[in-house]
Structure 1
């Protein structure tokens, strides 16, 4: 059976091949990053409370590094939101509940979010030195938590299976740390497409968890600056607009 394209981006394409999904990275994509993604996935896939498609192997396919994992039959939450705008609030509430469930888990072998963020801030050459110091000082003062954080929790990384279960994929940025930092990242991802959806998401999360909204917002400049390190052109303008916002403290 010929493999069937499911989705693609500038750096990777996902194919269906029988009962497996093959995530094929572009030529020249760093091997270390591919292996790290497979390792992160392997570390979270055995958490019983979550549905995480298992990695079946890492291989070079047609000259490109690829991750082979279990195939989930269904649609992404993003597809469902686009197809059923009248159900947006219902879908968003379920997404928030899933994020809270993720944060209730522990995965002690993952990198610590705070250390990972600090490294990104130190490495990002675009930052003014005074601003870098301000952001690193703020980060250092944030409470240290060890909750499981996805790092890229977005409707496109949630698959609503035909079996009714909700699956979470793309754990490459997973870490253990402060849940509000993870929520700030999701807020920024949602803001790329629709600011109203982002606000709805944050409001729901804060209400359900009893988290002060200003506290989550306080993470936004830190998370935005750290994300510049990953050089995603589609995010650059939004991230830069948030870096100097310190009004919430």
Structure 2
């Protein structure tokens, strides 16, 4: 597989993404854990098996000594681009976005990793939090109900592709787990709040209304998922996430 610089779509700290024929090819930096690459491919394949119409894994390979995943290409715009260029219709877009998230969460995939286990590992590995705060977060996590719904883990409008016919497709399943839908919603809320608090509040209102979930219940997950997001070590997000962890009134 030959990749050219002109086909580069996006470059991240640990990977470069290319458009190649009928696929998207993610090429990971040297030293990126091989297990993470295979885990992303495995997650995607397991979500495929739920019947959700997502871009399918085509190949895991090596390109110039670097691990790469080839995934089916879906033509269209991101929902994020559509929201930002047509703010007057934001609420309609957000309704569709929440409906899509609920469709994902209606599925089950018994072989996906458990969300609570993953969150516990992320919190335990945090160097920026003292032992007492980690203990309080883990105690709260343990007390939360354990569910087994398919959860994307990074469900935001940049990961939703809208085709010319209006059909929406969810991409990037690297962080998928089986777990509690409200925890997944709390993560989505935080991702919105990092950019725009009003948009985040609109999302949470619609999610709670459509799923018949108490807003307070989703909010109980916020310090836990903020700590999990902190584990990604994005310096630009650190102060914001620490505030969500610090404002917790542990009971």
* TM-score interval for Structure 1 and Structure 2 normalised by the shorter chain: over 0.9
Kindly report the root-mean-square deviation, in angstroms, between the aligned alpha carbons of the 2 structures.
1.6
Q: Is there any run of 5+ residues in structure 2 with no aligned partner, and where?
A: none
Could you report, residue by residue, the CA deviation over 1:119-176 in whole angstroms, capped at 9, with x for unpaired residues?
A: 1111212211111111111111101111111000011111112343211111111111
Could you tell me how far apart the structure 2 residues matched to 1:51 and 1:248 are?
41
Q: Choose the corresponding residue for 2:179, options 177, 180, 203.
A: 177
Q: Choose the corresponding residue for 1:225, options 227, 231, 234.
A: 227
- Structure 1 contact 214–248 (Cα < 8 Å) conserved: no
Task: Normalising by structure 2, report the TM-score.
Answer: 0.93
Could you tell me how far apart the structure 2 residues matched to 1:8 and 1:93 are?
30
Could you tell me how far apart the structure 2 residues matched to 1:7 and 1:45 are?
24
Q: Is there any run of 5+ residues in structure 1 with no aligned partner, and where?
A: none
In the TM superposition, 1:30-179 aligns within 5 A as 30-48=33-51, 50-179=52-181
Q: Which moved more, 1:159-168 or 1:136-145?
A: 159-168
Q: Choose the corresponding residue for 1:18, options 18, 21, 25.
A: 21
Q: Secondary structure at the match of 1:36?
A: helix
In the TM superposition, 1:205-216 aligns within 5 A as 205-216=207-218
Q: Which moved more, 1:117-126 or 1:180-189?
A: 117-126
1:27 matched to 2:38 = no
Could you tell me how far apart the structure 1 residues matched to 2:79 and 2:239 are?
25
Size of the aligned set, in residue pairs, is 248
Q: Choose the corresponding residue for 2:237, options 235, 238, 242.
A: 235
Could you tell me how far apart the structure 2 residues matched to 1:26 and 1:232 are?
18
Task: Normalising by structure 1, report the TM-score.
Answer: 0.94
Q: Secondary structure at the match of 1:59?
A: strand
